[in-house]
Amino acid sequence: MPIYEYKGLTKTGKEVKNTLTAESIIQAKHRAKSEGIMLLEIKEKKSKGQNSGSSFKIGKKINVEDLALMTRQLATLVRAKIQIVEALAALQDQVENEHLKVILSELKQDVNEGASLAKALGKHPKTFNNVYVNMVEAGEESGTLEVVLLRLADFTEAQMKLINKIKGAMMYPIIMMLVGTALISGIFIFVIPKLAKIFVSMKMELPVPTKICIAVSNYMQAYWWSIPLILFSSFWLFNKWKESPKGKLKWHSFTLKAPVFGTIVKMINVSRFCSTLATLLSSGVPILVSLKIVKNLIANVHMQEAVENAKEAVQEGASMATPLSESGHFPSMVTHMITLGERSGELEEMLAIVSENYEEQVDSKINGLTTTLEPIMIIGMGITVLFIVLSVIMPMMQLNQAR
């Protein structure tokens, strides 16, 4: 049922704001009045759908945990042969997130009017992105919606765990970077200006490092407000470029080749490919449909292209291992195991083994992030401090030599 938001007065004159569910606004008004509320304002609560890119993004008011739980509950209800409309109604009563309640209400209304679940989900791209919608569409077409929903829940939960792991690994380096940046900024804003006055009073030719430090200090003092503006603009322009077709290809190519991070990105996508394909095949989903679904779960466009080529190869009766190997993005061990699985008829088991192996490697790599980044950041900060120290010492050495 639609959700209505109202503002009114109680019998004691106290102002209240609340929500209620009703079939229509007339019924909502009757319900509010029956509870002793004198309505001042009432309106149907609507979600705000916004466009999103191909990355797996969650709506502003809906976190990953809420979405994963809702998806798993929906899969359970669908598996129990409950109609989609009834399942959405049951979920609407169960979820605590108000924004998600509104979205579920609109989904139920759209499906009740004859729209497919995928089409209804597509109206809320801020919450359900292309990956989610395309997987649900493939599940509806193949009659394996409950399997796809369970896999989506697994994927969302795995993404949540991965984000938490990366946050944990990056916490210490980020703190180091923030503290180091604050200290160096303090030196440029408060220390360098005082030293600059002394150097200028000496009326001597300053070394290049000293001139650079003084110029940076003067800029930070006069135009400090432009620094956050430049950072924000750079971040915004970078995101716009990254979402463009050419930018996406170049960025995704860079992420596969980047030191440390490139290996992790490749491992995550390979693990996702193997685990999802194994789950779908073992659940009886046809291999072509499975490859279509798996392609949507892979975040990197170059690896997506390799999976699409593999799907075309399977459609022509060839092995999917060959195009995966030729792409250069799937390790030889993975393609070798797929080849063995295809020949022996145990493809699901081989994929599950590879998936488990790569999940362990991903955990190990993420845990090693801190160990790798710490010395890099310490060296970087050390070089910066050394540059500042030299810029201060060099004029003094010149002064001593002049004497």
Residue owning tokens 């400090």: 224
Residue owning tokens 């003092």: 221
Amino acid at 21: T
Residues of the chain with pLDDT under 70: 1-4, 13, 20-25, 40, 45-61, 370, 399-403
d(CA 68, CA 75): 11
**pLDDT of res. 264:** 87
**pLDDT of res. 47:** 56
Token couple for 17: 């704001």
d(CA 154, CA 276): 9
d(CA 157, CA 181): 34
**pLDDT of res. 46:** 62
Residue 292 to residues 148, 287, 310, Cα–Cα distance (Å) = 12, 9, 10
120 CB burial (10 A radius; 0-12, 13-18, 19+): buried
92-101 tens-digit pLDDT: 888 888 888 8
**pLDDT of res. 54:** 38
**pLDDT of res. 59:** 44
Residue owning tokens 């600059």: 196
**pLDDT of res. 180:** 85
**pLDDT of res. 309:** 93
Strand order through the sheet with 15-21: 15-21, 3-9, 38-44
d(CA 362, CA 263): 9
Buried b (16+ CB within 10 A) or exposed e, 282-308: eeebebebbbbbbbbbbbbebbbbbbe
Q: Which CATH superfamily is 64-156 part of?
A: Type II secretion system (T2SS), domain F (1.20.81.30)
**pLDDT of res. 53:** 39
Pick the CATH number of 261-367 from 3.40.50.720, 1.20.81.30, 1.20.1730.10, 1.10.3720.10: 1.20.81.30
**pLDDT of res. 24:** 67
